[in-house]
Amino acid sequence: MSETADRGALGPLDIARVMAALPHRYPMLLVDRVEELILDRSITAIKAVTINEQFFQGHFPGRPIMPGVLIVEAMAQAAGILAVESLGLAGSGKLVYFMAIDGAKFRKPVEPGVLLKLEVEFVQKRSSVCKFAGRATIDGQLAAEATFTAMIADPPKAG
């Protein structure tokens, strides 16, 4: 039996568990819940997009659209949860930093009132560097996709 099969799946994970895995807080916390997390393999998470998001005040008045970079950030945060949980780093203070974003494509505008489903899987996993493939969908329709690489590191020391 594989390690993944031995360790199984987690979920759903509520906002308290999300906040335990990520250092992000309002207004930068972009994952509201995790529907399913298969250790060492994949995560499915949700971002509830509401008109109350600060970025909608200026992007764009009269036609609010979630910025593409924040959609990628939401996928990266889901990947961070996957990495932290899979590597047993929850509560360790370790951070997951972007190293590269490749092939980002935006297919459908993300507007207030939708549930943005974030589906991320490991492409490659090492002890400190991981590569992921992510997709963001709305009601089964692809809104955005990207591959990205992240490094797991200690937080910067207070100066």
Residue 66, token pair as written in the block: 């979630």
Contact criterion met (CB below 8 Å) for 134 and 146: yes
Contact criterion met (CB below 8 Å) for 134 and 119: yes
Element (H, E) at 9: strand 9-10
Identify the active-site residue in 59, 94, 108, 135. 59
Contact criterion met (CB below 8 Å) for 144 and 107: yes
24 is catalytic: no
**What residues are labeled active site?**
59
